[in-house]
Chains A and B, each alone.
Chain A
Amino acid sequence: MSSVLADVLVVTALIGALALVHRPLGDYMAAVFQSKNHLRVEKWIYRSVGANPDAEMRWPAYLRGVLVFSAVSVLFLYLLQRIQDKLPLSLGFKPITPDQAFNTAASFVSNTNWQSYSGEVAMSHVTQTMGLAVQNFVSAAVGIAVAVALVRGFARSRSRTGDLGNFWADLVRCVIRILVPLSVIAAVILVACGAIQNFGDIHSITTLTGDKQAISPGAVASQEAIKDLGTNGGGFFNANSAHPFENPNGFTNLLEIFLLLVIPFSLPRTFGTMVGNVKQGYAILAAMAVIWFLGVVAVTITEYAHPGAASQLAGGAMEGKEQRFGEGNSSLFAVSTTMTSTGSVNSFHDSFSGLSGGVLLLGMMLGEIAPGGTGSGLYGMLIMAVIAVFIAGLMVGRTPEYLGKKIGTREIKLAACYILITPALVLIGTALAMALGKGESSMTNVGAHGFSEVLYAYTSASNNNGSAFAGFAANTEYHNTMLGLCMLLGRFVPMVFVLALAGSLAEQKPVPATAGTLRTEKPLFTGLLVGAILIITGLTFFPALALGPLAEGLA
């Protein structure tokens, strides 16, 4: 079988599997967040925390829950890294330096999982499992909770009090009923396929040639599962999902891609079910799927064509890729990870051709909405839908409405603020780094590709992706601090606008649909939505892309 045919089968199998679970998982998640009952373990959690899961919160209270919980998480994770040498199972690793510990704490709490450290020689067993992996769960759950709050803003019509649900209940249910059960299943499959799962020591062996080799230990499979499922992406090892202990074969590779796409692609169903019209969910899903699929095709074709002097000479674009995955399975992973805000990698994007690198960058610049991170993808896409409805409204001169809610001045201001935040962080962050000379000193490559490394780093951090053109030497005091700030602001400032919008929508009484209402469940709207996304992103980032990947790709 040719590689191309095999790749087509892999993509087909992936789409088939995602389609198969779309309805059941989407409906299950909707049921979880709409349920009136609490499981026994959940009751125990609420009791020991002193939270009332049935108290409705308006948006300021919901937001305060998100922010306070995340702030406490940053402090806890920072502290854990700083004292890891005093705790058991330290593997002899030193405490992480203050700037790097801040960067890592910001990174994992903001669901970015940018890594300026090498896991195999930096993080102890305790830091990995009780610090990093915990944030993999809860940061994903926070994202989903905020998305669910926004959906409630659209869905609720009767109360008019602006209630968005209870943050603690959403957080706990998401972890207990969705993320933990799915992770256990995925992790056990990964161990069965050869991912390691132990709490041993670094293990030295003598090879047949008489050399010494050190074999790393770790609770890898359990972390790998939630790393992908929660669209986190922080690798246990520096090589991330290219490491054979994280991703041993072609099947685990496909499983991991499935895991990182499954929740983001199922949430539109949850949305459709909760607003009482599943077709609205399909329109959103279609927009996500179209962009993702175009990205997969573009990168796969470019990598097989292997432009670039070095790849041409080698006869293929295999630099930074593993033999067991090849170009096709690596391209599929790369597009899926950059478009879901995951950031785990099974191959190194820095060595992809200039144009592929540009597509991967664009995937992040779209705002991580195709299909985007767990939760953040859905709320990002819904904001874009609000913008698209607004543009359509301008064209025909009608007050725009979406799902029966009027998109007035307040709503459109909030949506506009949302879409301005990340571009501002990316462009100002990149410009500052270059102007201060901090960019150049951290580049591995020269020229346009070197600039792409800096742009990629700030794009990845601000959009909470976490993948890297890893040639960029990010572990400096300057970049650790600046990227850390970009990650926190890029995560939580948009959440403020999302929840404010949700609150304002929830207070509205829905208006009945008329003949003049834009039918947002139709393909026409999906087309409008995709167009709006591409135009907004294109206008914002084209100059920066022209300096980096386009200059390299066309050179």
Chain B
Amino acid sequence: MNTSFASSARMAWAALRMLLVLTVVTGIAYPLLVTGIGQVLFNDKANGSMVEVDGKEIGSKPIGQSWNIKGTDKPDPKWFQGRPSNSGYDPLTTGSSQLGASDPTLVKNVKAAKKQVAEFNGVPQSEVPKDAVTGSASAIDPDISPAYADIQVERVAENNGLTVAQVQKLVDDHTDGRTLGFMGEPHVNVLELNIALKGLAAKS
């Protein structure tokens, strides 16, 4: 009994030392090595691909933002709008609604979103694309579909004193296809699009 206890204790001591040594390798050396390489070679991306306007940081390119009128939950007609978010685009509470595909609450949400998006952009409900009425997975999806961008063009042009052609060109320029032509889905980064829009509106 005593000897087996002693041998178990010896093994536990060896196991603890093994864990500590492997912690040094995989928990300290490994992340520091990757951080070193990342910070030197890809400094901008390793730090979140921050975007500046007039010398001030106004967001991170891959992180979606809310485009509501400040302090309200009403969408601002002068901006392109993103997808519904489960957390109001708060990066500290990421995640989706978790509602099932036939859940009554989700049915209600989709119905309301469809009506709101159609009225807000002055298009029939049948033209509202799926990404405009469904919540994203991350709650900070930076992108919308090209179709959703298209139905917003007229409303955005009107509210910024621009022509429809000018704004449509902006959307086309900011539409990213699939990576290498086949990976992922085509998308429009709303933050970049709105920054370009702001620049164009300021010039005209």
Contacts and interface: CB of A to CB of B under 8 A. Distances in A.
B122 interface: no
Given A217-B48, A309-B101, A323-B131, 11 more contacts: A3-B185, A10-B182, A49-B14, A206-B56, A208-B53, A208-B194, A242-B138, A309-B104, A319-B96, A320-B97, A322-B137
Nearest to B52: A205
Interface residues of B, number: 102
B101 A326 contact: no
16 contacts: A9-B182, A41-B25, A120-B93, A134-B22, A175-B25, A188-B41, A208-B195, A222-B31, A238-B93, A244-B62, A244-B142, A250-B178, A250-B183, A348-B95, A470-B98, A555-B102
Given A138-B26, A238-B93, A552 B102 contact: yes
B101 A244 contact: no
B144 interface: yes
Interface string B96-130: 11111111101101110010000000000000111
Given A118-B93, A184-B30, A208-B58, A310 B142 contact: no
Interface residues of A, number: 127
Going nearest first, the 6 A-B pairs with the smallest beta carbon separation are: A250-B184, A308-B101, A471-B98, A250-B183, A316-B130, A242-B137
A390 interface: no
Given A320-B137, A470-B98, A6 B178 contact: yes
A434 B81 CA distance: 42
Interface string B35-46: 101110110011
Interface string A28-52: 0000000000000100010011110
A145 B93 CA distance: 37
Nearest to A317: B101
A16 interface: no
Contacts of A13: 182-183
A449 B70 contact: no
Interface of A: 1, 3, 6, 9-10, 13, 41, 45, 48-51, 64-65, 68-69, 71-73, 76, 118, 120-121, 129-131, 133-134, 137-138, 168, 171-172, 175-176, 179-180, 183-184, 187-188, 191-200, 202-203, 205-211, 213-217, 219, 221-223, 225-226, 237-239, 242-245, 248-251, 253-254, 306-311, 313-326, 328-330, 345-348, 350-354, 357, 444-446, 449, 452, 469-471, 552, 555
A171 B185 CA distance: 40
A508 B89 CA distance: 62
Nearest to B44: A194
B27 A129 contact: yes
A468 to B, nearest CB: 9
B141 A207 contact: no
